[in-house]
Structure 1
Amino acid sequence: MAESTFPLPDLGEGLEDATILEWHVAVGDTVARNDVLVEVETTKSAVELPSPEAGRVARLGAEEGAVVRVGDPLITFEVAGAGIVGTVPTESEAPRRRVHLSPPDDD
């Protein structure tokens, strides 16, 4: 499994940090994309941050009550290795034209 770290995102309006109010996950938990991870507080408001991906929580970047700066690691996930999503079609024959248009006769 690969690791993926999610940093504290820019929460807007020039805010540079946030305080961890409450973790909604713990190390070892499995999360789905968009599950609520943590509630943080800025000078403007309290915000719940969703998970950007699915995986297992490997590490929390800070304890409740700690101040985290924008861009610092917030949480690290163990995720399945990156792979190709879908398939690439192969062409076994030349593409066929669906419609053949001809200009009208000038009779």
Structure 2
Amino acid sequence: MGKMKSIKNIISETKHKDRPKNLSKEFQVYGVYLAESLDDTKHYSLYIKLAKEVDRKILEEALTYTKEYYSAKSKAKIFMWKLKELKLTGKTARDNASH
């Protein structure tokens, strides 16, 4: 008779069952983290691409900004808006603080 799985393991397996399996690079893991932080697990590949191509400081700042919106219907939309804004201005809050 096999060992029974704990409820915690079963929940974690079903909660992110669509999560990509072959995560070998750090940016892939970070992309998955972004998608799950924003409750947008339908778009893992988008966040993995962003993690690969966009400066990490910009992604971190957009994510921090987004986390302030607790009751937002779509954190992903707020994240993408803030990311676009940061790319347009070309500066992050950390850059502004150091000048």
Between the two structures, name the one with larger relative contact order (CA 8 Å, sep ≥ 6).
1
Higher strand share: 1
Kindly name which structure, 1 or 2, has the bigger radius of gyration based on alpha carbons: 1
TM exceeding 0.5: no
Q: TM-score, normalising length from structure 1?
A: 0.24
